[in-house]
Amino acid sequence: MSLVFSEETHRNMLSRIPHCTGREISDWLRAVEEGPALLRFEEKVSWLRSEHNLAYGHAKAIIHEYDLRRAARRLL
């Protein structure tokens, strides 16, 4: 099983997160921003899973989206 989602899979996962978790993506991104200053991707995923009881795939998609948006902000 691949640990890397395709862009389409990532977008599909993001679209399902609000229904599955009861929280919007913007809420999750804010939680990551305000959470502990972890450096590694897997540390952030583990924190989301343990702190918020998220499934691995959801936590991974949230952190991936967070990293994508953070990188885009740096380019501006």
Tell me the domain boundaries of the chain. 3-75
As given in the structure block, the two tokens for residue 62 are: 């949230």
What is the reported pLDDT for 5? 73
Quick one: how far is CA 76 from the chain centroid? 22
Q: Tens digits of per-residue pLDDT, 43-72?
A: 999 999 999 999 999 999 999 999 999 999
What pLDDT shows up at residue 29? 97
Residues in contact with 66: Cβ distance below 8 Å, sequence separation at least 6, in sequence order:
29, 32, 33, 44
Please give the pLDDT value at position 3.
59
Report the pLDDT value the prediction gives residue 76, as an integer from 0 to 100: 66
pLDDT higher than 70, residue 20 = yes
The helix or strand, by DSSP H or E, that contains position 40, with its residue range, turns out to be: none
Residue written as token pair 């862009």: 7
pTM (two decimals):
0.89
* Mean of per-residue pLDDT scores for the chain: 92
Distance CA 32, CA 38 (A): 10
HSE of 23, CA atoms in CB hemisphere, 13 A: 14
